[in-house]
Structure 1
Amino acid sequence: MLPDLRSDCQSCAALCCMALAFDEGEDFAIDKPAGLPCPNLDAGMGCSLYGRLEAEGFRGCARYECHGAGQRVTQELFEGRNWRDEPELAQPMIAAFAAMRRVHDGLELLVAAGRLDLPASLEAEREDLLEDYLPEEWTEATLAAFLDSGAPARLAAFLPRLRDWV
């Protein structure tokens, strides 16, 4: 079953605010290394600047979309637990978030490709790829194995072949 590919920050452990790096510039008012919480993250795992991100120089945050990977990692893989209450979860959650973002980005592309009038051979290939991106259950181990499975490379090779149907 296809997961929700839209972010739900209320169901996430602020993974983008902790896992991702920011480089000061047009999109971010500060430098922030990956793996450290954003200084604007409040005690409730929300953004203290949320209503005024762009005005405060955080256009990148306002535009970021994890495609649902954050809440999926938090709720499904870590059963609602978070890195702030259990600091030992920080690194596993960062790794799972990075992998799940790749899964969800791939799913978004495969769903979009499904709207195209593809020939039967390409549609069959799309459906095979979709199966790889939709296992019955994701775990830390299956996410790690997925990255080494060849599915991301197969998707990267598949997408350029859709040019004539876009």
Structure 2
Amino acid sequence: MTPHLSADCSQCAALCCLALALDAGDSFAIDKPAGLPCPNLAGHACSIHAELTEKGYPGCVAYDCLGAGQRVTQELFDGLSWRDAPKLAGPMITAFAGMRAIHQRLELLVAAATLPLSDSDEEIRKAHLGKLSDRLEPQIVAAFPGSAAESAIDAFVRSLRRYVSRG
């Protein structure tokens, strides 16, 4: 079964608010290095969520982890949080980066189902989808960015261009 590809912040440990860097400008009101909790974070919730755009954070409104945050929190860390166990912050940040890359590929593989794929390409699509949808071990998730598995999926997705009409 394919994981949900939309964020459910109630099932996450605010990983985007911890793991991602913010650069002051049009999208974010402040500079924040990766690994430092956002100053607007209260527990696992944004204290200015209803006013993000007005307060200079339209980038937060636009961001979607595609469900990677809740999958890391619930599947890899059994609902634990870096807030309750600070030693988990580093491993959760690493896992979040890997899971975001995995969920980006899942989104592409799900979208590819709308193409008129050959039987062999559909089998390959389903195989990749299955590998990324199964329960994953933290070390697999952490190692996914830059891995042979990521490269194989990217090459497969690029090969699907032949199914897209250009006019």
Instruction: Kindly tell me the number of residue pairs found equivalent between the two proteins.
Output: 164
SS in structure 1 at match of 2:111: helix
Match of 2:96 in 1: 97
Measured on the aligned residues, the alpha-carbon RMSD in Å equals 1.4
TM-score where L is the length of structure 2:
0.92
C-alpha deviation, 1:52, in angstroms: 1.0
Does the 8 Å contact 2:101/2:144 carry over to 1? no
Name the CA distance, whole Å, in 2 between partners of 1:130 and 1:28.
34
- Contact kept? 1:132, 1:151, Cα under 8 Å: no
The two structures have a TM-score, normalised by structure 1, of 0.92
What corresponds to 2:86 in structure 1? Answer: 87
Q: Distance in 1 between matches of 2:143 and 2:54?
A: 41
1:141 to partner: Cα distance: 2.0
Separation in 2, partners of 1:10, 1:19? 17
Alpha-carbon distance between aligned partners in 2 of 1:122 and 1:105, rounded to the nearest angstrom: 19
CA distance in 1, matches of 2:158, 2:144: 21
C-alpha deviation, 1:147, in angstroms: 4.3
Q: Relative to 1, partners in 2 of residues 1:36 and 1:110: Cα closer, same or farther, differing over 3 Å?
A: same
Gaps of 5+ in 2: none
- For 1:108 and 1:65, locate their aligned partners in 2 and report how far apart those are by CA, in whole Å: 12
Gapped runs of 5+ residues in structure 1?
Answer: none
Q: For 1:10-47, what per-residue CA distance to the aligned partner results, in whole angstroms no more than 9, with x for missing partners?
A: 110000000000011110010000000000001x3110
Structure 2 distance, partners of 1:47, 1:75, is 20
Equivalent residue of 1:94, what SS? helix
Counterpart secondary structure, 1:144: helix
The sequence identity of aligned pairs, in percent, is: 54
Q: Does 2:14 correspond to 1:19?
A: no
Farther-moved stretch of structure 1 (142-151 vs 114-123): 142-151
Contact kept, 8 Å, 2:97 with 2:142, in 1: the verdict is no
Partner residue, 1:141: 139
Q: How does 1:26-105 map to 2 (within 5 A)?
A: 26-42=26-42, 44-105=43-104
